Structure formats: C-alpha cells, structure tokens
Structure 1
Amino acid sequence: MPPNDALAPHAFARPAAGFSARRVGAMVLRYWYLLRGSWPRILELAYWPTMQMVLWGYINQFMASSSAWVAQGAGVLVSAVLLWDVLFRGQLGVSISFLEEMWSRNLGHLFVSPLRPGEWLVSMMAMSLIRTVLGVVPAALLAIPFFGYSVFDLGLPLGLFFANLILLGWSLALVIIALILRYGMGAEGLAWIVVFMLAPVSAVYYPVSVLPGWLQQVAWILPSSHVFEGMRAVLFGGAMRWDHLAWAVGLNVVYMAVAVGIFLYAFRQARVRGALLQTGE
C-alpha cells in the first residue's frame, strides 16, 4: 500500500483552470435549494426590514404628537430599553443554551444520562437568568452617570416587571426549541427573530392607545404590554397599576403551561424519530 504522502496529490481534484459560470450557477442553485427548503430562513429575509419599519413608524407617530408628554417622564425610554432587553435576553438565554448542545451534537449524550427533560429546562432557565443579569445590570448602572437616571428608582415594581418579562421570554424560548426539534437547525434563526415580532404590539416605547383598534386587542393578550403600561404608570403617575400586574401574571401562567406542554410533546416526538442524535450543526 502506498504511503500517505503518495495519496496526497490525489486526495482532492485540482480546480479547473479559468472562470466557469456553470460552476457558479451550480453553487447558486445549491444555496437556493437550501434557502427554499427552510421557511424560517425565507421569513428572516423579509422580517427585519418590515419589523423595523413598523416599529419605528409607530414610534414616529407617537413622538410627533406626544413629545412633551414623554419629556415629563424622566427616563421613560431608558427604562423601556432596559426592560425590553430583559425579555430578549431571557428568551435568548434559554435558546442559546439549547443551541449550544445542538451545535456540538451533545443532545443525545445528555439524554443517555439520568438527566430528565424537566431538570434540563430548569438548568437552562437558571443560565438564562444569569446571562440576563450579567447583560442588563451593567447597562443599567452605566445609565446613571451617562443620563442621570437610575432604573432602580422604580423600586419594587422593577422586580415585578423583571420577573414577568423573563417568564414570557422563557415561554417563547420553549416554543422556539420545540420548532427547532421539529424542523431542524434551519429554524435556529427563530431564536433571534421571534421575540422582536412582539415589539410593535408590546407597547415598549409608546402606549397601547397608539396602535390601531384591532391591534390593541392583540396587545392586551401579551404580558409584555401590561408590563410596559405599568412601567409608564409608575414613571408618570408614581402609582403601581396592580390590574396590569395581575393580567401579566395570569397570562404568563397560561403561556408557560402551554409552552411547557408544547416543548415536552416536541421532545418526545424528536426522541421517537431519533432527532436528538441526528440534528446538529
């Protein structure tokens, strides 16, 4: 048998000389088939421009008629940005912990151990909480010298807002994980785009009343809308809206129960199909 060195020149075919439009076309066709076969990737292409247009359109509409109202509430936009990041990082913290197992093809190894799905979920949520605190607290502290505003002045309501937003983030993450288990890694982009689908109807930077009537009905079934309306009530009126908090807690309980059920169903189906071993980067 010839030594390895003798095989080296023949290990890979040499590129043909010159530029070939056919080879370029073949590769473009390959990438097109990959894109066409993954609806989450197609959705992502149109998602960001559309979402930015809708979100900033409503912000512009609100600021044009209510800039003086915003000026009366010190730090309202800073508080909104920081609390929105709690929702985003809460969701992403769970999703990334899951994706790291998928990228390393370690999911099958985890579940030949005594680890139970419920224990795994709790560990990902704990890691999400750590990631969120590490990400948001430094930004909140920097807002004090930069803008002369401390989100911690919200007091007890801040903790209640934080808890409700991170719970909603976890619910979204469980649904995203279920979709990835069902559709494979082509759906991993959902981890970055799903939460922003809620931004226009969560009334982060403007009241729910700015939205069209039919969209207001959608906003009121989201815990995030109640949280941000409650935040503005504290900043502008100095009073906690306990009705908004009650709605946020009740909706979160329902959404978390539904999300856990969807996740467990998708996990069982993935185990039956052998997807825990086959799905990877």
Structure 2
Amino acid sequence: MNLVEQMRGLAMHRINAMVLRYWYLLRSSWPRMLELIYWPALQIITWGFLQSYISQNAGFFAQAGGTLIGAVILWDILFRGQLGFSISFLEEMWARNLGNLMMSPLKPIEYLTALMIMSLIRLAIGIIPMVILAAVFFHFNLLNFGLPLIVFFCNLIFTSWSLGIFVSGLVLRNGLGAESIVWTLMFGLMPLVCVYYPVSVLPAWLQPIAWCLPPTYVFEGMRALLFDQVFRGDLMLGALAINAVLFVVSFASFLLLLNSAKRAGSLISGGE
C-alpha cells in the first residue's frame, strides 16, 4: 500500500485518539514529565561547573588528562554498577515474572543479593575493556592507583547497589511508568558528586549537599591521589560510613515499597 492510499484512509479522530492516549500517559507519570526537562538542564549544569573550574585554573590542562580519564572510569563504575543491578530487575518486570518470584520461597534479601552479583558480572564485562583502552590509547593505567583503587571501587559499588535497590523499589511500587528513573537518577546526581571538578566549584549552599553523597568523597580522594600523591583515608572512611547508612535505608525502603506493591496489587500487573 503506497503513501497515497494511506492518506486516502486518513482519519483525524483516530490520530486524535492516539495523541490523547500518549498525552494521558505522559500526564499521569511524573517521571516521564521530569525526563523532558532533565537532559537539557543536566548538560548545562554539569559542563557549566567544569568550565568554571577550568577558567579558575590556568594550569589545569597540564595535569588534567589523567584526572579526567580516571574520573570517567570511576564514574562508569558507579553508573554501570547501578545500571547492571537495575537492568536485571527490569528484566523480570518486562517479563511480568516478578510476581511469581515474590510468591515463591525466595526471600527479598536473596533476590537482592543475586542482583548485586549480576551487577558485578555486568560491570566487569563493561569496565575491563574500558580500562584496557585507557591504558593503550591514553597511557592511563588505573591499576597505578594501587590499594586505594580497592577502596574507591568498594565505595562506588556500595553506592550503586543502594541506589539500585531504592530505584527498584520505586519501579516495583509505581510500575514501568517509573522506569525512566532507572536511567536518569544517577545522572541527576552527577553534578553534585563532582566527577570532573572539586567540591569548591559548587555554590556554597550546594557543598553540604554534595558532602552527603559518598561518591563525592571518592572523586575528591582520586584528585588528591593524582595531584598531591596523597591517599585521603579520612575521606574514604567518611564515604564508607555514609554508604552503610544509605544501604540500610535503601533496603528498608525496598521492603516497604514491596509490601505496598503487594497491598496495591501492582506486584502482579507491573504495568504503565
């Protein structure tokens, strides 16, 4: 059937019905509405802070290469850790199988532990080639961090799991209409965790908020290690303490959202 024949059968009321269908879906889901504003605002905020840092430091480019590459790799550990956790969870949502799992003898902690393991597997598949490419093409060897790399990794992966658990609970309770939170939440935190610039670049009123986030301590610790050759154990202990609280809160939130989903019947439907 060619275009002319398609146009001949055009019916505006059917087009209008489909437009209304998508509009109602958008209007009824605040995560979808938020996503429309999200990316433009995020880009200008993140790179605006980076530009401020560059303009304040004339010698930045003389030493920034390793810092930026290291920041990119550590950021990817944080992001891919959360995404690897959440994708495995979403696989069950997409297959409408989560209700079956929750009605089985499987305990929530067992299910979450399995997701954490899958997160590590997915992360390894993505990060190892990235580290190799950085070493071959940019002469940046992440392993030169030595033992601090283990502490950096543990803090970042604990944060990613905590956020993954919390986000999974939100999707579990609100259905796939909240799925976009899985992809956007971590990027929303990106300007605050100071991946590419120090905390001092942020406005004074934002800095206390940044210090409430464990990844901020990791990226500040990385810069101290690369610029000053100093391992900031105090920063890592601070990150670990916040991560411990964050993990407990996220797990408790997941259980509350799971029970709420059971009462509301959204555990079985899992729809939009």
TM-score (norm 1): 0.91
Question: Quick one: distance in 1 between partners of 2:125 and 2:24?
Answer: 40
Aligned position for 1:253: 244
Say which of 70, 89, 95 aligns to 1:79: 70
Q: Deviations over 1:81-113 (max 9, x none)?
A: 000011101111111111100000111221332
Matched, 1:127 2:118: yes
Question: Quick one: distance in 2 between partners of 1:178 and 1:26?
Answer: 33
Matched, 1:32 2:23: yes
Aligned position for 2:96: 105
Q: CA deviation at 1:76?
A: 0.6
3-state secondary structure, aligned to 2:206: helix
Which structure's CA Rg is the greater one? 1
Question: Quick one: distance in 2 between partners of 1:187 and 1:279?
Answer: 10
3-state secondary structure, aligned to 1:214: coil
Call closer, same or farther: CA 1:67–1:201 in 2, change over 3 Å: farther
Q: How does 1:125-164 map to 2 (within 5 A)?
A: 125-164=116-155
Q: Does the CA-based 8 Å contact 1:74-1:235 persist in structure 2?
A: no
Question: Quick one: distance in 2 between partners of 1:67 and 1:45?
Answer: 36
Say which of 206, 228, 231 aligns to 1:237: 228
Q: CA deviation at 1:72?
A: 2.4
In the alignment, structure 2 segments of 5+ residues that lack a partner are 1-5
Q: CA deviation at 1:276?
A: 1.9
Matched, 1:273 2:269: no
Percent sequence identity is 51
Question: Quick one: distance in 1 between partners of 2:26 and 2:64?
Answer: 46
Question: Quick one: distance in 2 between partners of 1:260 and 1:100?
Answer: 20
RMSD (Å), alpha carbons: 1.5
What amino acid is aligned across from residue 25 of structure 2 in structure 1?
A: L
Q: Does the CA-based 8 Å contact 1:73-1:236 persist in structure 2?
A: no
Call closer, same or farther: CA 1:67–1:90 in 2, change over 3 Å: farther
Call closer, same or farther: CA 1:68–1:272 in 2, change over 3 Å: same
Q: Deviations over 1:148-177 (max 9, x none)?
A: 111111111111111101111111111111
Q: Does the CA-based 8 Å contact 2:173-2:267 persist in structure 1?
A: no
Q: CA deviation at 1:228?
A: 0.3
Question: Quick one: distance in 2 between partners of 1:243 and 1:43?
Answer: 37
Question: Quick one: distance in 2 between partners of 1:151 and 1:16?
Answer: 59
What amino acid is aligned across from residue 109 of structure 1 in structure 2?
A: N
What amino acid is aligned across from residue 108 of structure 2 in structure 1?
A: P
Number of positions where the alignment pairs a residue of Structure 1 with one of Structure 2: 267
Question: Quick one: distance in 1 between partners of 2:58 and 2:171?
Answer: 42
Aligned position for 2:12: 21
Question: Quick one: distance in 2 between partners of 1:67 and 1:166?
Answer: 34
Question: Quick one: distance in 1 between partners of 2:173 and 2:103?
Answer: 20
Farther off after superposition, 64-73 or 254-263: 64-73
In the alignment, structure 1 segments of 5+ residues that lack a partner are 1-14
Aligned position for 1:6: none
3-state secondary structure, aligned to 1:198: helix
Say which of 253, 257, 262 aligns to 2:253: 262
What amino acid is aligned across from residue 171 of structure 1 in structure 2?
A: S
Q: Does the CA-based 8 Å contact 2:82-2:164 persist in structure 1?
A: yes
